[in-house]
Every structure is written in C-alpha cells, then in structure tokens.
Amino acid sequence: MRYACILVVIMSLILFDFDGVLADTLSDLLLFGQQACDTLGVKHVATQADLDELDVMSFATYGLQMGVPEALVDEFVRLCIDKFNRKETPPAIFDGLDEVVRRLSAEHVIVVVTGNDSVAVKAFLTAHGLEGCVRAVFGLDAPGSKVEKIFRAREQFAARGETVWMVGDSASDIRAAKEAHVKSVAVSWGHQGADRLVRAGPDYLVHTPGELLALLAGSSDRAA
C-alpha cells in the first residue's frame, strides 16, 4: 500500500524596513538632508552620526536632529521626499538582498513598512525586479505610526498564530516590533550601528544578508 507524502509549509509574514535594510540610501539621505538644510537656511553639515543618534528614524526627527526649526520640519520632510521621488535612478540594493527577498517570497509573505514614500519604494522594487515578491508597501503616505502599520499588515496578511517578523536597521524599528508584539531582527549594515541596535534589545541581530536568509528561511522552526 502506498501512502501520499504531504509537505506542510508554515508561512510567516516578514516585514522589511526600506532605507538601510533593502536600499542603500545613506548617501542620498545625507545629500538630500544637506540640500534641504541649505534651502531652509539651516547651518549644519549632515553626517551619519545624525542618523545614529535618532530615537525615532524618520525624516521629521532627522531634520530636528540637524537643527531644523520645528516650524520648518514639514517643509524639510517635503523637500527630502520630493528629492527621493525625483531621483532619476533608484538607490542600490545591498549585495545579496535581492536573492534573499526572492527566496523568502517563495514560501513567506513579504511586506515593506517604511518611513519613506511608497512611490520611491515601488520604483526601487521595480528597478531591481522585486515588485512581484512584495505583497504590499506601507509607506509614509499611509496613515498611522510604524506600530499601527505593523498591526495593519498583520491583520491583512497573517493568519492566526502565524509568526510575524520585523526586519529593521534602527532602534525605533526594534521598539515598534516590541510594541506590536512581533519578532524583531536588526541588521547591522544600515543607518544605525550595532552597539545602538544591541542596546535596543532585538530578538536577533544579523550582520550579513546570508545570516538573515538562514534565520528567516527556517522561521517556522522558531515560531515558538
């Protein structure tokens, strides 16, 4: 007598931040932040330290960190977003991340949750051949905080009891994951340093895309 072998694949919902996780946007952030400051008459030289110091990773807090007056923060954000959307070529993807996303999307649901505009994110995904791998983008133009967007993504795409992961490069990504009661994975190749990330207490810290793939490809084994 023959018995059929049934393979049951337990899927996960994997949420990726954009800037500093998928997209290598550090040089753009520094350039556009500097240009916005110059336009607004703010005397400041933008450096990565400005980003590393942020408790909340957003264009608004980035502007405040660089000394933009609160009354001009909305204009600073508008200028930065406009520069990203008008950029002729999308940012580079970190080496190996395209393959990571493709392989994970074969068995899991991938969503991008970001403080950048969804127009820029979708242009990036298309340029790198990943538009078919990402189910949705919750960007700056979507209402709510990052925590609220995580909740919305989970409600929309995760089945009851399914593991949800948030992959980010900032302390605020880790904090948002904790507040939303999902697992956090910090990547050390982004905008905030490993020491800053460790202090935020992520569930996992990875240093290469290969480590990220090894962790998440077997994420069903870690569901408990």
Task: Give me the tens of pLDDT residue by residue for the chain, a chain 224 residues long.
Answer: 443 433 334 579 999 999 999 999 999 999 999 999 999 999 999 999 999 888 888 999 999 999 999 999 999 999 999 998 888 888 999 999 999 999 999 999 999 999 888 998 999 999 999 999 999 999 988 889 999 999 999 999 998 878 999 999 999 999 999 999 999 999 999 999 999 999 999 999 999 999 999 999 865 445 43
How many other β-carbons are positioned within 10 Å of the β-carbon of residue 185? 26
- pLDDT for 1: 43
Plot region of 144 (φ>0 → left; ψ -120 to 50 → alpha; else → beta): left
Task: Report the sign of the C-alpha dihedral through residues 137, 61, 84, 16, in that order.
Answer: negative
Task: Report the sign of the C-alpha dihedral through residues 86, 190, 24, 97, in that order.
Answer: negative
DSSP label of 219: G
- pLDDT for 108: 94
- pLDDT for 160: 80
- pLDDT for 128: 96
The first and second tokens of residue 145, run together, are: 């905080």
Superfamily the domain 13-24+93-222 falls into: HAD superfamily/HAD-like (3.40.50.1000)
